[in-house]
Structure 1
Amino acid sequence: MELHPSSIVIAGGGSTYTPEIILMLLDNLDRFPIRQIKLYDNDPTRQKLVADACEIIVRERAPHIAFCATEDPETAFTDVDFCMAHIRSGKYEMRDRDEKIPLAHGLVGQETCGVGGMAYGLRSIPDVIELIDFMERWSPDCWMLNYSNPAAIVAEAVRKVRPNSKVLNICDMPIDIMERMAKIVGLQSRKDLVVRYYGLNHFGWWSDVRDQEGNDLMPRLKEYVSKNGYNLEPLGCEPRLNDEDWLKTYRFAREVFACDPTVLPTTYFKYYFFPDHVVEESDPKYTRVDMVRDIREKEVFSECRRIASAGTSEGTTLKIGVHASFIVDLACAIAYNTHERMLLIVPNNGAVSNLPETAMVEIPCIVGSNGPEPLSIGEIPWFQKGLIEQQLAAEKLVVEAYFERSYHKLLQAFILSKTMKDASVARAVLDDLIEANKDYWPDFK
């Protein structure tokens, strides 16, 4: 089959993840050829820092690929086949408030979970919809591969107001855990696994994991996770040894697993099942965003400056990361009708038979040129159903609150979160977040 080269725009061109996405794309040109790469961002200073280095990388490794970076949406979205969107509305300045304001009220401060995640979602909704409108105006046949957070709230908003758009909502966290599962059972890659999985984004469980020959891997995985969580240090292959915060999260999965040892959970349940523990171990003056700024951002931006100054990427420390590894698989599935099985966030429409039709569920799908075909999950147990419906209600209320400008619906969403203490705290933290987000949120009545 002839592989027609694609044109790509990366929305969020100034992100620290953009270089690793560029490297991933260049490493896969044999199966996903590219004719053009564009970077688009509304922060020209930040984007230029990344783009100057990426332009050198592209020129050295694939000089036939046209490259540009722009703040003009028409330039960015004209003649593109795929938009890879990973924007951060409000940048790290607002993430800082998403994490620290809840902690000041004794609540979990996390960028995608609890009230901090809701705050981030309210900022993300208009920006993602704007990108969809740009795409549909200037390249109506384009597909958006959206991995902007918080994915569940963003996906629900898109379902509500742009239901027919060519948008695929995806997340890298299940991919990362599946790579860990493969290592635990001695396989080479997550692609050696066949999984059944269900839930909402950052709120799901694996109910079955097998190898390509159909051998049940769940007993081995459960035994390992019950002792070690998803931490790979006992196997000597932990890829995040420089980040103790992530190591703690992976270790703590054993505590989450103990809540229901019939399934394997994602790591994010620690924020919902053990919020007091999370708050107790958090430093309200130095949160995850400070770690990212002090480590990842400084390292990536420093290396980008070095490449731009030297005029060459030789000896670069920039690498392909797990954040990018699944994106080319999804693009290939759409472009070349590969029918790859992938986890995506899609309208339920009966796939999980005892959840609402309009739930945006994260489940396995077969992906081809027409988009995803969700696989049937059937009924799920009461424990998971109850948790999902509470979380789903909170996420739907956030989206309704945004479009209706409803203070009370947003307050109800805060109260519903399993990370919340009581309604008085919900109102207090909401009022503080409204003040902090006055330049981003609508005027809630």
Structure 2
Amino acid sequence: MKTFKIAVAGGGSTYTPGIAKALMLKKDEFPISEIRLYDVDAERQRKVALMTEKVVAEFDDNVKVSHTTNPKEAFEGADFIFAQLRVGGNAMREKDEKIPFSHGVVGQETCGPGGMAYGLRTIAPMIELCDFAAEHAPEAWIINYSNPAAIVAEALRKERPNARILNICDMPIGMMLRMAEILGVEKDEIEVDYFGLNHFGWFTDVYVKGESRMEELREYMSVNGLVTPAQSKDLQHSDVDWIKAHTNVAKMLQLFPEYIPSSYLQYYLIPKTVVEQTNLDYTRANRVMDNREKNLFDSIAQLEETGELKEGFNVGVHGTFIVDVAMAIAYDKRERFLLIVENNGAIPNLPDDAMVEIPAYVTNRGPEPIRLNPISLFYKGLIEQQLASEKLLVEAAIEGSYQKALQAFALNKTFPSAEVAKIVLDDLIEANKEFWPVLN
């Protein structure tokens, strides 16, 4: 049986040990010979690699784990490249959140001005990653988790249209896991219909063994949102910030009960509520640094000192989803997933060049999107406004255009006015001098 070589770009991520464990849990179905970590932060990656090596060795000490800052060493001969870049780290994430909040605007890592700031930091490194892959591993598939996925996907569609890349997001999977718990079934028993952009979409139906359970879900979630009756298996999205987001799904359903909204739509549909719910001095970035980040690196320190592994991480849907997608490509499984793909008529009344998030079958040649019905005017209007914002931001990055960046910010529904958009943009330019392209 063929064994696979996996490169992880963003190897210093807190999610890396979880991805490695997810690979090892599937080792009989998807045998791995190497896991190579690649990151620009050598010392952080060295530490994460120590835990990753220990996790892998507990399953199979024949699997080689290495870490490098050299792209040739990382990618040459790889079968898959798992990309999870966080350009600027959590220090810049904190600024992405707190600068908008200081002006009364949503501050979030992937949505609104924070997401656009993160996008402007990530576009060039992701283009560079595609070029490294083309040079050193031309047959490899890049499976991309790097956020903000919608902006990254649009930039790569425009700048590297021939890249062998599949853009994915685990949030719909997390929501599906919770829906299954609400319905009292296993996640693998449900299938969903869904449309939108990444972090900007709606579930239009949910089936269990071919029977629609949408009405039952809508009734429950209009009161409780995505808060499940018992403790959820979805540990990755179970802390206090996610509980607020899951509760806010009920508020959105009460306003617009036709479809179940992605929890991320709270930032666009009820931004005033989100800002009011937030401690502006202690945002999500602070919680991540004080919990997930601290737990992992405390466990690594203990490992270095004692040689004993205390897992400071969860496998979660982040790890299992990316492995499932890789397996679907490797074995041409034609498995159905929600993916970010070029529209090309799949949603007939949206532009062909929109990067939409919809169901698709995954083959060894890439995704085969499922064609959907036209969407109604309300959803079409929301999507086209958000799409225009994302496209203008990508053009601003490529062209170095301040005016297009301002247009992108002004179009985004998280802003109350173009005047506030300009203030926030100017503050973010100052904070991101080290990372952003120059905007003239």
Superposition pairs for residues 29-428 of structure 1, below 5 Å? 29-189=27-187, 191-212=188-209, 214-232=210-228, 234-237=229-232, 239-240=234-235, 243-313=239-309, 316-428=311-423
3-state SS in 2 of match to 1:8: strand
* SS of the residue 1:424 aligns to: helix
Choose 433-442 or 317-326, whichever is displaced more.
Answer: 317-326
> Residues 269-323 of structure 1: CA distance to partner in whole angstroms, max 9, x if unpaired?
111111111112222221110000011100011112222333243x535431121
Secondary structure of the residue aligned to 1:290 is helix
Deviations 1:373-419 (A, max 9, x none): 00001201111111000000000000001111110010001000101
Q: Residue 428 of structure 2 is aligned with which of 424, 430, 433?
A: 433
Question: TM-score normalised to the size of structure 2?
Answer: 0.97
Determine helix, strand or coil for the equivalent of 1:385.
Answer: helix
> Residue 7 of structure 1 contacts residue 37 of structure 1 at CA under 8 Å; is this kept in 2?
yes
What is the number of equivalent residue pairs in this alignment? 439
Calculate percent identity across the aligned residue pairs. Answer: 51
Asked if structure 1 preserves the Cα contact closer than 8 Å seen for 2:196 and 2:202, the reply is yes
Task: Give the aligned residue type for 2:191.
Answer: V
The residue matched to 2:7 in structure 1 has which SS? strand
Residue 311 of structure 2 aligns with an amino acid whose one-letter code is T
Name structure 1 gaps, 5 residues minimum. none
SS at match of 2:263: coil
The answer to which of 262-271 and 52-61 deviates more is 52-61
Q: What secondary structure sits across from 1:108 in the alignment?
A: coil
Moved more, 50-59 or 136-145: 50-59
**CA 1:317/1:291 → structure 2, altered by over 3 Å: closer, same or farther?**
closer
Deviation at 1:248, TM superposition (A): 1.2
For residues 270 and 288 of structure 1, the distance between their equivalents in structure 2, rounded to whole angstroms, comes to 15
Cα distance between partner residues in 2 of 1:374 and 1:271: 27
Q: Match for 1:415: what amino acid?
A: A
How far residue 95 of structure 1 moved from its aligned partner, in angstroms, is: 0.7
User: Is the contact between residue 15 and residue 313 of structure 2 (CA under 8 Å) also seen in structure 1?
Assistant: no
Residue in 1 aligned with 2:22?
24
Change (3 A) 1:67 1:205: same
Q: By how many angstroms is 1:236 displaced? A: 4.4
Amino acid at match of 1:369: N
Distance change >3 Å, CA 139–CA 237, structure 1 → 2: closer
Alpha carbons of structure 1 residues 55 and 394: separation in structure 2 relative to 1, 3 Å: same
Please list the CA deviations of residues 49-84 of structure 1 after superposition, one character each: whole Å capped at 9, or x if unmatched.
111121122223211111101111110011100000
CA distance in structure 2 between the partners assigned to 1:72 and 1:420 by the alignment: 41
Q: The residue matched to 1:326 in structure 2 has which SS?
A: helix
| Residues 13-69 of structure 1: CA deviation (Å, up to 9, x unaligned) | 111111111111111111111011100000011111111121122223211111101
Cα distance between partner residues in 2 of 1:60 and 1:290: 32
Q: CA offsets, 1:221-256, max 9 Å, x none?
A: 111111100011x33446559722211111111011
- Superposition deviation, residue 329 in structure 1: 1.1
Q: 1:117 to 1:237 in 2, by over 3 A?
A: closer
Give the C-alpha shift of residue 442 in structure 1. 1.0
SS at 1:268's partner residue? helix
How much is the aligned-residue C-alpha RMSD, in angstroms?
1.3
Q: Secondary structure at the match of 1:97?
A: helix
Deviates most, 400-409 or 318-327: 318-327
Unaligned runs of 5+ in 2: none
